[in-house]
Amino acid sequence: YPHQYSGGMRQRIMLASVMLLKPALLLADEPTTALDAVVQRDVMELMVDLTKENGTAVLLISHDLGMVARYCSRIVVMCQGDVVEQGKSEDILARPQHPYTRKLLAAMPHREPARELPQAATPLVSVDGLVVDYGGRQGFFRKEQGKRALHGISLNVQPGEVVSVVGGSGSGKTTLGHAIAGLIKPSEGTILFNGRPIDKNETAYWDYRLNCQMVFQDPYSSLDPRMTIGELVGEPLRLVKGMGAADRRRRLAEVLGEVGLGDGFAERYPHELSGGQRQRVAIARAIIRRPSFVIADEPVSALDVTVRAQVLELFAQLQKKHGFSCLFISHDLGVVEQVSDRVIVMQDGRIVEEGTRDQIFDAPQHDYTRKLLSAVPGLESTEDGGVRLFWRLAEPA
């Protein structure tokens, strides 16, 4: 049944079902949006092979400009229902004419200079030997073995640091984030906050729970549709002792202003907002208590190029202003390259490589890291306002 297959396998099944008819035209609407870098490449290569074999034309609908640059011979740029520019891929990317096309290309992720962060004597958050098992249960005579999602994960996050976790589907990166956030109970291992184990010290536990907040992937399902934006964002303030109603309203207005949601947004409901605005609400809700640690699980994967760039810029400004540490979980290597101080690479529930952003992207050591980086090309800006395709590692054959 479909639920027994991964996202990449399901997409292969969809390809097989439509190509059985040997169509003259294949409409591919965001066929790889939810897939990791390696699976994304494999699905696209399969699509190219099948369509070439059958002589099928492809209309690829996508907001991934790197994929468009690699696979498409012609590009049509649309804005608010109108075609604003079209032509050969190399011409559109290298010499964009329309302001909207230039805006799209300028919104591509880019690498900022590495930050110099002071090393604290004690990490803000430490994880030691974290193990998460699913499905196991204690029988009458013996314990039945379940599936091990995390195998003894250990990591540190320094104050003010952005640590990104990357990996393919099923690598355990989201499970790691949920376990650190307290949404999943680890089978083994210890989480320390400011050097104190949260599972053995009640004061440390509540201090951590109040200082650890999460931004979820889906801005549509992570907000209660029955609550107004003001109620959603202001809800965490109910736990702040000594904060009166006037202070809560003042803080709410301040935070909504920080995320670019001004007058009138507090009375709206989630369905009245766009995807980017909803994710701004999710960020506002996460930072309203001024936490010291934020876990962001694929916070921009559901957004288009320009909105993604705006949300990332907002997130960077807030992180710099308030100084919170961040565990940033993503499969988008371009985004990770832009936001990270350090990068952790996961495969099959294990950390296979860890280092600074520049070490991971410029000199990867592990084969799996190299495989991830070689799977998806990047785009870099040119002096005349365009972009050109480049490979972080040698271009695959």
What is the mean pLDDT, run by run of 10 residues, along the chain of 397 residues? 82 92 94 84 93 96 88 95 95 92 87 82 94 76 76 96 92 94 93 92 88 90 93 90 89 94 92 93 95 94 86 93 96 91 96 96 94 83 76 61
> What pLDDT, on the 0 to 100 scale, is given for residue 16?
92
What pLDDT was estimated at residue 140? 63
Within 13 Å and on the Cβ side, how many CA atoms surround 248? 18
Q: What pLDDT is stored for residue 397 in this prediction?
A: 46
Query: pTM of this prediction?
Result: 0.88
Q: What is the pLDDT of residue 394?
A: 61
How many angstroms separate the CA atoms of 289 and 336, rounded? Answer: 26
Report how far residue 335's alpha carbon sits from residue 35's, in angstroms, rounded to the nearest whole number: 15
Per-residue confidence (pLDDT) for residue 77, from 0 to 100: 96
C-alpha to C-alpha distance for 11 and 270, rounded to whole angstroms: 30
For residues 316 and 145, give the distance between their C-alpha atoms in angstroms, rounded to a whole number: 42
| φ, ψ dihedrals at 190, nearest 5° | -130, 140
Burial tier of 240 (Cβ tally within 10 Å: 0-12, 13-18, 19+): middle
DSSP H helices, the chain, are 7-19, 37-54, 65-71, 89-94, 99-106, 173-181, 202-211, 229-234, 245-258, 275-287, 305-322, 333-339, 357-362, 367-375
The neighbouring-strand residues paired with 380 are 388
**What pLDDT was estimated at residue 92?**
93
